[in-house]
A and B are shown apart, each in its own frame.
Chain A
Amino acid sequence: MRVTFPHMGNLFITVKGMLQYLGVDVVVPPPSSKRTLTIGAKYGPEFACLPLKLNLGNFIEASEKGADTIVMAGGCGPCRFGYYAQIEHAILKDLGYDMKLIVLEPPQKHLSKLLAKIKELSGNSSWWHIFQSIRFGYQKAQAVDEVEMAAFRSRPRELTPGSTEKAYTKSLEMLDRADSQIALAAAKRNADELMSAVAVDNKKTVVKVGLIGEIYTLLDPFSNQYLERTLGRLGAEVDRSIYLSEWVNDHIFMGMVKGVRTRKEACEAAHPYLRHFVGGHGQESVGSAVNFARAGYDGIIQVFPFTCMPEIVAESILPEMKADYGTPVMTMIMDEHTGEAGTLTRLEAFVDLLTRKKEVKEALCK
């Protein structure tokens, strides 16, 4: 059994670490590229959202590398993601790819089904070993998130252009290579050092931009046209509404880990505007926008794939929040078109606007 899974930004570091800890033979799909997208767009349903198409491309490319089993998460709606695995599997079957599918569905009635699937995937490891591997994966996710956050801070302030990017890539490589708890702790220390060694200008004034939206396009740099990197280069410090480790804590550990942001907080903040969950991260998006605005962020950017239903609801409601807090919000919708110039122009204009607004505000305060 050679197992593969879909890409979502740096998710592969966590999942690969977890599966290899269990001794599973893992095939990481090649990083998402234009080829991945072309394959996905060709075979996926026309109006399916971008992540489905990229998933499909990932699976086909992984199968070329010898993968024969797919691990996917499931869901119970109303977001389309819950039916991805089944649709993708049917398409792969029609195309002649004979791949086994293991879907980890959130338990509706009985936990036993999910547990049996996990046991099957892990090749009958003991539950203690499985627990250890999940913990290991979570620690990796946390370490990756910390590196990302450090990069968010230093990118707009770096003295040598490109130095953050170099340190960032190297740090992630180190974390990816760590195969035991001890190695991970060492890698984490090294990554910390590497990231803090980036020379920065601490006095530089930067605008702060909060990123909200749908989880896949938010976490996957390829699908959002390297939004965070571009914003960093343009001199904006970014923060995201979702980090992988937070998502894991919310949805898999049921919020057991204390001291981190939870979706509950975001949903409470969303209440005056959106009083019911709408699937996906729609309510969290509205709530995070409110939280960013309250925290004094200069601007907010919402990203989501074209036709994403929950985020369209959020998009319809965000103007109301904007009217109350006065924080500019821009919506960027991602699909299989890859023209970068349009995105870049919009981001430049947005950051210019925020910078100017900030200058005016500071001048008035003096």
Chain B
Amino acid sequence: MKIGIPRSLLYYYYYPLWRVFFEELGAKVVLSSHSAKGILAAGLKNAVDEVCLPVKMFYGHVLDLAGKADMIFLPRIVSIEKREYICPKFLGLPDMIRCLKNLPPLIEVDINLYKNNRDFYIAIKNIGCIFTKNHLDIWRACLKALQVQKKYFKLMQMGLMPSEALALIEGRVEDKFLPDGEKLNIVLLGHPYNIYDPYISMDIINRLRSMGAVVATAEHVSEKIVRNYAARLPKKLFWTLGNRMVGAAFHYLEQPGISGMVHVAAFGCGPDSMTGGIIERYAHGSGMPFLNLTLDEHTGEAGVMTRLEAFLDMVRWRKAACGT
């Protein structure tokens, strides 16, 4: 059986886990194509105007899987941390996608860790039961998947981007570079599905790198540090990804050698409007150069490029001025 996974949204976090899990259970995993104009166009056509860019992109990826996969894996990710959510759109995603026509059957399982972590294993069991009745097999697949997932997160915390970490896990590349500290250190903050999707973010990571910056993201910081720093807020944020961005931002603001911070938000994103405001306020407070980029489905790259170049120039001048 071929299980389709959209290359979008939480793919950038949990793809290794689900791939190993499904493959261990004897299924084949099919990914949707890389984000591109055609995929976004299909998403735009089928989603309502008001949803944010990454969700429109998600629609496109799901439609791309029609005809390629026997089933589409589309869990309802309610919560991945205790007493936190992701975003209301994740909660309604399967129901929104179900309105699309001519799709293969969906694997809809609620993943809800709002109350406790045990519920994750119930979800795993429910998904596994589609493939086998043998609970031991499911358990074994789950353990192996979790192991790989742990490795993936570890690699990211060592400074790799998701695509590089994935390539390493799948044995596709030789150990290449790790960032050297001589260059300009720029922190890139944003939802993983925005900054790591090269089409949505207009390949911002590689562009920054080609302009001579070493890019650090929120995923490079360990969970524990993120939580500790995020606890400085007057009230805990109830969005897991927002919490990670804010915690990482606070952490980086205290690190020596960070030259600037770029925040990427999707147009109309609810959590970003709040967390972006918080990060900006603290960044200004500590005198950190801060650039806020809002992305939508317009594809003019020149504007983004100009702003990035101007930002880096400014950061360089500032650094030079401080040095002398």
Contacts and interface: CB of A to CB of B under 8 A. Distances in A.
Contacts of B26: none
Contacts of B273: 45-49, 80, 307
A96 B309 CA distance: 35
Contact of A47 (B91, B96, B269): B269
A278 B93 CA distance: 10
Interface string B112-137: 00000000000000000000000000
B48 A274 contact: no
Contacts of A312: 48, 50-51, 88-89
B102 to A, nearest CB: 15
Contact of A280 (B88, B235, B239): B88
Given A94-B281, A276-B95, A316-B99, A309 B270 contact: yes
B239 A78 contact: yes
Give the dominant DSSP class at B's interface.
mixed
Interface hub of A76, A90, A278, A307 (most chain B Cβ within 10 A): A278
Nearest to A321: B99
Interface stretch (B77-85, B143-151, B160-168, B185-193): B77-85
A199 interface: no
Interface string B275-315: 01110010000000000001000000000000000000000
A49 B273 CA distance: 9
Interface string A58-90: 000000000000000010111110110011011
Interface in B67-88: 76, 78, 83-88
Contact of B99 (A45, A86, A87, A320): A320
A78 B87 contact: yes
A86 B234 CA distance: 7
B199 interface: no
Given A80-B270, A276-B78, A313 B83 contact: no
Contacts of A89: 234
A87 B237 CA distance: 11
Contacts of B96: 313, 316-317
List 3 tightest A-B contacts by C-beta distance, closest first: A77-B238, A313-B92, A78-B85
Interface of A: 45-49, 74, 76-80, 82-83, 86-87, 89-90, 94, 103, 105, 108, 273-280, 282, 306-310, 312-317, 319-320, 333
Given A78-B87, A276-B78, 15 more contacts: A47-B267, A49-B270, A76-B83, A78-B86, A78-B91, A78-B238, A276-B110, A278-B92, A307-B50, A313-B88, A313-B91, A315-B50, A316-B48, A317-B96, A333-B50
